[in-house]
Amino acid sequence: MELESMTALELAKKIKQRQVSVLDGVKSVFARIEKREDRVHAYLDTYRKEAYTRARQVEKGIADGTYTGPLAGVPIAVKDNICIKGKTTTCASRILENFVPQYNAEVVDRLEKAGMIVIGKTNMDEFAMGSTTETSAFGVTRNPWDPGHVPGGSSGGSCAAVAAEEAFLALGSDTGGSIRQPSSFCGVTGLKPTYGTVSRYGLVAYASSLDQIGPIGKNTADCAALLEVIAGHDPKDSTSIKREDLDFSASMTGKIVGMKFGVPTEYLAAGLNPEVKDAFMEALKILTQMGAIVEFFSMKTTEYMIPAYYIIASAEASSNLERFDGVKYGYRATDYEGLHDMYRRTRTQGFGEEVKRRIMLGSFVLSSGYYDAYYLKALRTKALIKREFDQAFEKYDVILAPAAPYTAPELGKSLQDPLAMYLGDIYTVAVNLCGLPGISVPCGKDESGLPIGIQMIGDCFQEKKILRAAGAFEKGRGDFGTAKMGGDRG
């Protein structure tokens, strides 16, 4: 097997046994980047030279016992809304095109302590707003399974990098599905942790009450191992939680006999593509054959999930994005008359259309005449949705859903109709509104060979249950295969 086709844990094991060097692993991903990146455009920036230098340090660190963890020596890609000291962090926006943070995000410090090697920053929807990675100000990312299609979003660059084997692992962020949906479209595995499990310090905020950073990998075991690296209390993030049960890998016993899974019937209604539905039903069959109990139940708040999410997310976004005013940092318009004109021109030129739409929507729902009618109502709706999930988790260990109602759309087809695009988030947003953990695992392919993912949702702090279920499902499913991109360079 070629090095870059190994999982992260396999590579780390080979490194530990000294069958390959850390530098070999790093070189292998850069060779792959060289071959494929012109067609994928997963990255906004790569750090080849630094990665080589760091590989030599890590090699020594492993030998002298500084780095003992299971992912030591593994190259990783980081979404470009996560700060790395001294490295441009753009959020795929013109307004931050030249922004260089003075500090590392907490997760980046943790990657370093684990002996991992950051190899670059990945493309994304501007400020993580979008579902296709097409709202990036720096060009689209293509789906490695079919370059005529989007990789999903907003963590499309991270998922495409892993799918194209241009990275062994990646970090994404998920506010309303941005890890799970692109993982599903790219045939990789992605986990959104319980809110507060991973520090948001150094993650550029989109909607602070919903944002979580999470792992994206080739399989469940790699995601569990990376979650162990990044999870943990951080006093720098006031919403960070003190948790003891962070030994996620230990939960992957492969046993799901007697485990209870619930499927909301509303999720299978109109709007779900029949091929996705078939693959999803097939996955339920596999789980049942493995001894799990699968039942259907009604989730009455389903139709309110999208409106509640888009009101709350836009409201928080409009407030969070106030800071990009051309004064403190980021882009400033060059031609202006007076302060207000400077603000106006800076923001007009610096933000893309989708971001402006969210800012306007958010400012509207928060304005004094409409606050009660929209924002407050959305918060109340969120409480009702949470109550329904609480009731469901009294009966079920895990809730199952497709990750998205369809497979990866063709490039250029989604942005003309933003409302239709928002509806595509139907299965993912409630997880963020309720702070729950969710994972997407590949479960099938459509007629043209594009991947389909099944989503497993757990109650708060039950990552172990969804990892156990996902790991077992993976075994039952068998090998999923990888994106065979024809025409590699060299």
Residues designated catalytic: 79, 154, 178
According to the binding rule CB under 6 A, does residue 177 interact with ligand GLN?
yes
Distance in Å, CB of 190 to ligand GLN, minimum: 11
Establish how many alpha carbons lie within 13 A of residue 20's alpha carbon, considering only the half-sphere containing its beta carbon.
22
What distances in angstroms separate CA 369 from CA 57, 298, 311, 377, 428, one per listed residue?
A: 59, 35, 15, 13, 30
- Encoded one letter per residue, x for contact with ligand GLN by CB under 6 A and - for no contact, window 104-133 reads ------------------------xxxx--
According to the binding rule CB under 6 A, does residue 440 interact with ligand GLN?
no
Distance in Å, CB of 312 to ligand GLN, minimum: 10
Q: Nearest CA to 123 among 149, 145, 152?
A: 152
According to the binding rule CB under 6 A, does residue 425 interact with ligand GLN?
yes
* Binding residues among 300-329 for ligand GLN as defined by CB under 6 A: 313
- Encoded one letter per residue, x for contact with ligand GLN by CB under 6 A and - for no contact, window 206-225 reads x-------------------
Peptide bond preceding 184 in cis form (omega within 30 of 0)? no
Q: For residue 450, give the 3-state DSSP assignment.
A: coil
Q: Which residue intervals of 290-437 are DSSP H helices?
A: 302-320, 338-350, 353-366, 377-395, 418-423, 429-433
According to the binding rule CB under 6 A, does residue 442 interact with ligand GLN?
no
Pick one of 59, 106, 174, 459: the residue that binds ligand GLN (CB under 6 A): 174
Distance in Å, CB of 192 to ligand GLN, minimum: 8
Distance in Å, CB of 180 to ligand GLN, minimum: 9
Tokens of 247: 């030994």
**C-alpha span between 74 and 394 (Å, rounded):** 39
**C-alpha span between 413 and 409 (Å, rounded):** 7
The smaller minimum CB distance to ligand GLN, of residues 205 and 299, is found at 205
Whether the CA torsion 14, 18, 20, 24 is positive or negative: it is positive
Pairing mode of beta strands 438-445, 451-458 = antiparallel
The smaller minimum CB distance to ligand GLN, of residues 259 and 430, is found at 430
**C-alpha span between 124 and 78 (Å, rounded):** 11
Per the CB < 8 A criterion, the answer to whether 154 and 131 are in contact is: yes
According to the binding rule CB under 6 A, does residue 176 interact with ligand GLN?
yes
Cα 482 from chain centre? 19
According to the binding rule CB under 6 A, does residue 90 interact with ligand GLN?
no
The smaller minimum CB distance to ligand GLN, of residues 251 and 319, is found at 319
According to the binding rule CB under 6 A, does residue 80 interact with ligand GLN?
no
Distance in Å, CB of 131 to ligand GLN, minimum: 4
Contacting residues toward ligand GLN, per CB under 6 A: 128-131, 154, 174-178, 206, 313, 425
